[in-house]
Amino acid sequence: MKQIIECVPNFSDGRNPEVYNAIAKAIRSVPGTHVLDISADPDHNRSVITFVGSPASVEEGAFRAIAEAAKHINLDKHEGEHPRIGATDVCPIIPVKDVTVDECVALANRLGKRVGYELGITVYLYGEAATRPERKKLSTIRHGEYERWRENVDSSAHHKPDYGPAEANSWGATVIGVRQFLIAYNLFLNTDDVTIAKKIAKSVRFSSGGLRFVQALGFIVDGQAQVSMNLTDFSKTPIHLVQETVKSEAARYGVSVTKSELIGLIPEQALLASAKWYLQLDGIVDDKVLELRLAEETKNNILPQPYLAATAEGTPTPGGGSAAALAGALAGALIQMVANLTTGRKNYLDVEVETQEVLKRSAELRAQLTNAITRDADAFEQLLAAWNGDDSSPEDKALEIENATYRAAAVPFEVGRLCLEVAQIAKRITSFGNVNAVTDAAAAAILAQAAVKIAALNVKTNVTGLKDRQQAQLWLEEIDQLEMTVQRLVDDSIATATKRGGF
């Protein structure tokens, strides 16, 4: 079973793309993480990044994001409509697939401890991870915002952190917790009177006697009153009920809703429920929706069609370097398959420990190589941008080209190294893995060899433009050695598979 966790950290900067894009890049640098959405709001001066991954990758991705935000965001200079207490204001952990709330709480504590003691950032735990009943609600922790926290963190028992120092710093505090999926949903009114938005927010939020599972505040955004809401359980308080309630309340004050806004992602079922309600299709089943029926019909189609289509287009990326990483990742997946067909089987109990070692490391290599597919494309696009850029001085442009050339060579070089290890593990499990899958282990070695050869070709191509000839020579010498070594591994794997398979 593949465990999936969602993380939706909120950062106190929605006006500087270089800041929130740098944070997203830090998340993407972790193998196994997938950034799904970046939403930035300059009026709230807040950005929200949605990413998913395994528990380990999400934990590391969140840690790097919080560290990156602390480098760039100064709360002493921050202004914005949205309440905030820190550079990374809140970092919710959400269980998605095959993971429990308790596991997420343990993750939140590990992350909080690292952030507190390795980064020196004050950390509070909220939601299901809260250590005090009064800290279950984020609003309680954030009451008074950064300014009140800065004045009281070193003296108030209320502000005593769960992890990290009880001292004020310009990056503020970070609130880490565990919750279920939340829909961030805003409605704009045809008025600039913020008092009306605040009255409507008060009438719909649960804490003031309104709708269950609704949090709401009133703001002015771009000169327009906005009712800003978090819907914490759309299955019990659906989005269309919230919409109609706000409309009804707005009519009391002679105003109307002009548009809505979604921050981050929304579950498909939330939209379907609203569509059924507004269209009065209460009896319709979901597979009447064309795309859902198609998804059901094609769910067993395992071909990576989007990647193949992108590769076939007349664009430089994804190209050979990405294909090398893909081949290596596929080789790692084949090794995992062989290991999974070996572990726990009666005839292979004597190699159980070794099988588990192979299973663990092949999964790690597969994740790293999967991440390298996009990293290679990004590196080459940066090289093209450096060559095509004309806004900098000749000296600066030369430096940008040199740095971009280095990255364009470094990524395939890393892929080559990783794929050599994939080939080593393939040879290893060929000798003891389930005999019925021994040819798959050899196939993994062959795929790894292809990946090494492609990566080597990319390294040799890119280092021709590198001015640091000493580094270029080191890479060329090692990549030649990688190619020779992987050839021996493939030959041994095929020989072993042939002998054990009896053909």
Tell me which residues are annotated as active site.
82
Q: Which two tokens stand for residue 289?
A: 């929706």
Please, which residues have CB within 8 angstroms of residue 306's CB and are 6 or more apart in sequence? none
**How many degrees, rounded to 5, is the angle at CA 478 between CA 476 and CA 483?**
95
Q: Which two tokens stand for residue 281?
A: 């299709």
Does an H or E element contain 196, and which? helix 194-204
Q: Which two tokens stand for residue 378?
A: 């990004």
How far apart (Å, rounded) are the C-alpha atoms in residues 253 and 270? 29
How far apart (Å, rounded) are the C-alpha atoms in residues 271 and 239? 8
How many CB atoms within 10 Å of residue 403?
Answer: 13
Please, which residues have CB within 8 angstroms of residue 5's CB and are 6 or more apart in sequence? 52, 53, 54, 55, 58, 93, 94, 95, 96, 99, 104, 107
**DSSP label of 86:** B
Of 24, 182, 7, the C-alpha closest to 104 is 7
What separation in angstroms does the CA of 258 have from each of 190, 227, 236, 393?
A: 6, 11, 25, 48
How far apart (Å, rounded) are the C-alpha atoms in residues 7 and 364? 21
How far apart (Å, rounded) are the C-alpha atoms in residues 488 and 481? 11
Concatenated DSSP letters for 365-390? HHHHHHHHHHHHHHHHHHHHHHHH--
Of 60, 63, 124, the C-alpha closest to 90 is 124
How far apart (Å, rounded) are the C-alpha atoms in residues 403 and 205? 52
Q: Is the peptide bond before 318 cis (omega within 30 degrees of 0)?
A: yes
